[in-house]
Amino acid sequence: MRIGLVCPYKWDVPGGVQYHVRDLAETLRALGHHVEVLTPAEREEFLTDPWVTFAGRTVPIPYNGSMASVQFGPVSAARVRRWLREGRFDVVHVHEPAPPSVALLVCMIASGPIVATFHAATTRSKMLAAFGPVVRPWLERISGRIAVSDFARRVQVEHLGGDAVIIPNGVHVDAFASGPPLPAAAGPAPTVGFLGRFDEPRKGLPTLLEAMRTVVRRHPGARLLVAGRGDADAMQRLVGADLRPHVELLGEISEADKAAFLRTVDVYCAPNLLGESFGVVLIEALAAGAPIVASDLDAFARVLDGGEAGVLVPRGDAAALGQALGDLLADPERRNRLRTRGAEVARAYDWPVLAARILAVYETVVAPGSAGVTAREGDDVPTPPPTGVAPRSSRWRGSSR
């Protein structure tokens, strides 16, 4: 099958949607399908894979208290038309098509089987609330809809109408399950791992630091290893003198080192407070064999099988978190049971398994003898509405640029 994937976000900037599109493309190509990706990037020369096509640069605009990446106008539309003509795809699969991006442009211009995956959860519902009525006529051209979680499905149903089949984010399980440990994380002392942007409040690191004081009283040599981006100076101030000998900041690590990190720690902790629609890092930790202690967010509880594949604690409760971490570090048999159950759960999220489900969606929208996807000619490409203001009509006003 000839498949075109469309990523709306910069390919050369780390992000969940980018990783999802990349991993899906690589999996489908390994299965023998012809796959090409259309995506923006900061610089075209950063796109080194011949099957990835530069869609241009995005423009960040302030919108509803955050930054939205906008890519619109005749230049981008011309790139989309050329990509569609040259690709001769049987199906095009767009990601996050509601905001004004190259994914929405493809929905406007393409004629033929279109599948869309919706990733946005409640944290981005303001954007969908604003753009939903505007883009709905173009999104009605989508033949098959996928949501990565029940939360993402609810948001798109509420704001865009229609329904979607839930196919979650995936993980290359084998890449996490085997390999060497991370030297910086190895050692005889019990270790707790945290991965993420540590200066982002919703990630819950202050709660974990407070919990570590309880852990250290029970396990005097225990270490907290923090991997990710953030303000290192602010982190040192947050840690405090009493915890400083027990906290090690590793900084941002590569994908390979992330897998090694998760294979090395004795317990992985996800103390997140809110805003998580899925929790792919939990699947990565399960695949790597890391026992997990996590906040009882609905998304995390679903991934951890209601607590069968990991320990759930009330979010924001440092005392309960410290108790759970200390108990698990003291119980190697329980850690082994969690590893066994976690490996079973992770297999359901392996990319070959999920790719087969996505291919089944493609097959439902591609009719036998279909001419495939073509480019419409002459469609108007409107400009986005003024930043920070919800549109009032079914078409954006203003001339194309």
Longest CA span, the chain:
70
CATH topology of domain 173-347: Rossmann fold (3.40.50)
Residue (of 71, 64, 69) closest to 129 by Cα position: 64
How distant is the alpha carbon of residue 382 from its chain centre? 29
Amino acid of residue 290 = A
Question: According to the model, what pLDDT value does residue 128 have?
Answer: 58
User: Where in the chain do CATH 3.40.50.2000 domains reside?
Assistant: 2-170+351-375, 173-347
- Strand 66-70 vs strand 59-63: parallel, antiparallel, or unpaired? antiparallel
CATH class name, domain 2-170+351-375? alpha beta
What residue ranges of the chain have pLDDT lower than 70? 60-73, 121-134, 159-160, 275, 277, 378-401
- Dist. CA 181–CA 202, nearest whole Å: 29
For 118, list phi and psi in degrees, rounded to 5. -105, 125
Region of 318 (left: φ > 0; alpha: ψ -120 to 50; beta: rest) is alpha
Contact between residue 293 and residue 320 where contact means Cβ atoms under 8 Å apart: no
Q: Is 126 helix (H, G, I), strand (E, B) or coil?
A: helix
Per the CB < 8 A criterion, the answer to whether 76 and 102 are in contact is yes
Q: Could you tell me the two tokens for 254?
A: 């590569």
Helices (H) and strands (E) in the chain, counts: 14, 17
Residue 148 per-residue DSSP state: S
pLDDT at 380: 54
The pair of structure tokens assigned to 71 is 């890519």
What is the rounded CA–CA span in Å between residue 46 and residue 43?
A: 6
At 290, is the secondary structure helix, strand, or coil? Answer: coil
User: In Å, how far from its chain's centre is CA 133?
Assistant: 25
Nearest to 41 by CA among 86, 11, 5: 11
Residue 330 sits at φ, ψ, to 5 deg, of -90, 0
Tracing tokens 């919108």 back to the chain, one arrives at 63
Rounded-to-integer distance, Cα 32 and Cα 27, Å: 9
Q: Which two tokens stand for residue 361?
A: 């969606």
Question: What amino acid occupies position 284?
Answer: E
Number of residues that this document lists for the chain: 401
Q: Are 219 and 329 in contact (CB under 8 A)?
A: yes
Give pLDDT, residue 399: 30
For 346, the enclosing helix (H) or strand (E) is helix 332-347
Q: Are strands 110-111 and 374-375 parallel, antiparallel or unpaired?
A: antiparallel
Q: What is the pLDDT of residue 137?
A: 80
pLDDT at 72: 64
| Cβ neighbour number for residue 43 with a 10 Å cutoff | 10
